[in-house]
């Protein structure tokens, strides 16, 4: 049988996917903290950390897509679907929630591109922080599910 | 007659308002298309990893529809949002575009989208494939929906508290 798409590189990509995902989680968490901390909003450092988090999220998502064919066959079809379908359920939720995270990340990049966020109108700032916070929660959720899935079986 | 002051957000649309509305519309539409295409089982091209090929018609192998679903959502939402951005100045007498409306709608769309997939996938893989099957009204499905509804309200509340707290 011919190898699956990028099968030979799957373990490298999987490590990068996880590593960059964790970087994204840390940077987004730090960004949210800097922006919402009560005494004084640190927009400058907060926006930089958030941008690192958003770009890392996009990279991690793309790497996830690249390893998906191998995961679909070697892990999901051979192990999760027949033996542990609830893990397939968790994986599917992770994927679709991740797709919503992708849309949010693209919109946040649009904010960086079109606005000077720290000088924008209040609703733009509020929306930015809302979306950033949700993206952080999504990344956290994905990290937890990823660890649970990896605990049972990995590529 | 004394003129009533008009809030700036009801007057001529500023460029930043149009961009903001366009970006949020993109988010809302992308989530809507992702959810709706999943709900109706839209027949998008699927990738067949064992056959190394894409196909719209179903084949007898393991398939992957996630790539198309995401791509289709973005490719549908993007042109519509750009169209909205271009058309909104000419059609604004028919529209009442407010920052707040779009901000709130996109928040609701995100929470709805997340919980839709949580319920749908957990029902399919966690309940239907694993059980427990129950005919009674207070079944596992019932408690799943209650749990998700509570989660929805909690998430919404957190976001509203956060929003209020930041700019007080």
B66 and B109, same structural domain?
no
| pLDDT tops 70 at residue B144 | yes
pLDDT band at B134 (very low <50, low <70, confident <90, very high): low
Per-run averaged pLDDT (10 residues), chain A, 155 residues:
85 94 94 76 84 97 95 93 91 95 97 91 88 93 92 85
Residue B50 near residue A69 (C-beta atoms within 8 A): no
Q: Between chains, do A89 and B62 touch, taking CB under 8 Å as contact? A: no
CA–CA dist A27, A17 (Å, integer)? 15
Q: Where are the beta strands (DSSP E) in A4-127?
A: none
SS3 (DSSP) at B16: helix
- Per the prediction, chain B carries an average pLDDT of 84
In chain B, what percentage of residues exceed pLDDT 90?
45
B92 and B133, same structural domain?
no
| pLDDT tens-digit map of B63-97 | 999 999 999 999 999 999 999 999 888 877 777 67
B71: number of Cβ within 10 Å:
12
DSSP string for residues in B63-128: -B-HHHHHHHHHHHHHHHHHHHHHHHHHHTTT----HHHHHHHHHHHHHHHHHHHHHHHIIIIIII
CA–CA dist A132, B61 (Å, integer)? 39
B65 and B46, same structural domain?
yes
pLDDT, position A50: 94
B139 and B90, same structural domain?
no
Facing B110 at nearest CB: one of A41, A86, A134 = A134
Q: Write down the ipTM of this complex.
A: 0.93
Q: Does B8 touch chain A (CB under 8 A)?
A: no
Q: Does B7 touch chain A (CB under 8 A)?
A: no
Domain that holds residue B154: 98-168
Facing B70 at nearest CB: one of A2, A97, A102 = A102
pLDDT, position B13: 72
CA–CA dist A127, B104 (Å, integer)? 9
B65 and B24, same structural domain?
yes
Phi, psi of B80, rounded to the nearest 5 degrees? -65, -40
Give the chain B residue nearest A128 (alpha carbons): B103
Give the distance from residue B1's alpha carbon to the nearest chain A alpha carbon, in angstroms.
32
Burial of residue A36, with CB atoms counted within 10 A of its CB: 0-12 exposed, 13-18 middle, 19 or more buried: middle
DSSP string for residues in A42-63: -HHHHHHHHHHHHHHHHHHHHH
User: Of the ranges A40-54, B98-112, B138-152, which one carries the lowest mean pLDDT score?
Assistant: B138-152
Q: Where are the domains of chain A?
A: 7-152
Q: Which residues contact B140 (CB under 8 A, 6 or more apart)?
A: B127, B132, B134
| pLDDT tops 60 at residue B6 | no
Mean pLDDT in residue range B121-132: 82
B35 and B12, same structural domain?
yes
- Residues in chain A with CB shorter than 8 Å from the CB of B103 are 123, 126-127, 130
**Host H or E run for residue B46:** strand B46-48
Mean pLDDT in residue range B14-37: 93
Q: Which is higher by pLDDT, B17 or A135?
A: A135
pTM of the model: 0.90
B90 and B15, same structural domain?
yes
**What is the b/e burial string over B81-113, where b = at least 16 CB atoms within 10 angstroms of the residue's CB?**
beebbeebeeebeeeebebeebbbebbebbbbb
B110 and B53, same structural domain?
no
B67 and B10, same structural domain?
yes
Facing A114 at nearest CB: one of B19, B24, B125 = B19
pLDDT, position B25: 95
The DSSP 8-state label assigned to residue A8 in this structure reads: G
Residue A111 near residue B23 (C-beta atoms within 8 A): yes
pLDDT band at B4 (very low <50, low <70, confident <90, very high): very low
Q: Does B97 touch chain A (CB under 8 A)?
A: no
Residue B51 near residue B63 (C-beta atoms within 8 A): no
End-to-end CA distance of chain B: 36
User: Of the ranges B12-21, B42-51, B139-148, which one carries the lowest mean pLDDT score?
Assistant: B139-148
Give the distance from residue B166's alpha carbon to the nearest chain A alpha carbon, in angstroms.
6
User: Of the ranges A8-17, B45-54, B139-148, which one carries the lowest mean pLDDT score?
Assistant: B139-148
Beta-bridged to residue B48, according to DSSP, are B53
- Residues in chain A with CB shorter than 8 Å from the CB of B62 are 72-73, 77
| pLDDT tops 80 at residue B36 | yes
B33 and B8, same structural domain?
yes
B21: number of Cβ within 10 Å:
23
B83 and B24, same structural domain?
yes
B65 and B90, same structural domain?
yes
Phi, psi of A74, rounded to the nearest 5 degrees? -75, -30
CA angle A76, A82, A83 (to 5 degrees): 95
Q: Does B67 touch chain A (CB under 8 A)?
A: yes
Total number of domains constituting chain B: 2
CA–CA dist B72, B68 (Å, integer)? 6
The DSSP 8-state label assigned to residue A73 in this structure reads: I
């Amino acid at each position: 049988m011919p190898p699956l798409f990028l099968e030979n590189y799957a373990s490298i990509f999987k490590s990068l996917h996880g590593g960059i995902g964790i970087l994204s989680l840390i940077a987004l968490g730090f960004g949210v903290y800097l922006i919402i901390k009560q005494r004084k909003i640190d927009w400058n450092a907060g926006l930089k950390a958030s941008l690192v988090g958003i770009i890392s999220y996009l990279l991690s998502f793309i790497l996830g897509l690249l390893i998906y064919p191998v995961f679909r066959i070697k892990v999901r079809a051979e192990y999760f679907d027949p033996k542990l379908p609830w893990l397939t359920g968790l994986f599917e939720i992770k994927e679709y929630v991740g797709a919503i995270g992708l849309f949010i990340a693209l919109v946040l990049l649009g904010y960086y591109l079109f606005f000077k966020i720290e000088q924008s109108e209040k609703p733009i700032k509020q929306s930015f922080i809302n979306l950033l916070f949700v993206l952080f929660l999504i990344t956290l959720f994905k990290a937890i599910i990823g660890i649970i899935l990896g605990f049972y079986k990995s590529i | 007659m004394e003129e009533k002051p008009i809030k700036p957000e009801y007057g001529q649309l500023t460029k930043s308002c149009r961009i903001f509305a366009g970006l949020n519309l993109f988010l809302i539409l992308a989530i809507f298309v992702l959810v709706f295409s999943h709900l109706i089982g839209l027949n998008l091209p699927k990738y067949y990893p064992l056959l190394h090929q894409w196909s719209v018609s179903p084949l007898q192998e393991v398939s992957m529809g996630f790539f198309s679903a995401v791509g289709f959502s973005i490719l549908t939402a993007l042109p519509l949002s750009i169209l909205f951005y271009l058309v909104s100045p000419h059609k604004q007498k028919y529209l009442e575009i407010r920052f707040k409306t779009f901000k709130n709608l996109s928040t609701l769309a995100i929470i709805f989208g997340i919980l839709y997939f949580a319920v749908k996938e957990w029902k399919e893989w966690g309940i239907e494939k694993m059980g427990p099957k129950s005919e009674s009204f207070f079944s596992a499905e019932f408690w799943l929906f209650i749990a998700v509804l509570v989660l929805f309200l909690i998430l919404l509340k957190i976001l509203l508290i956060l929003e209020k707290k930041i700019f007080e």
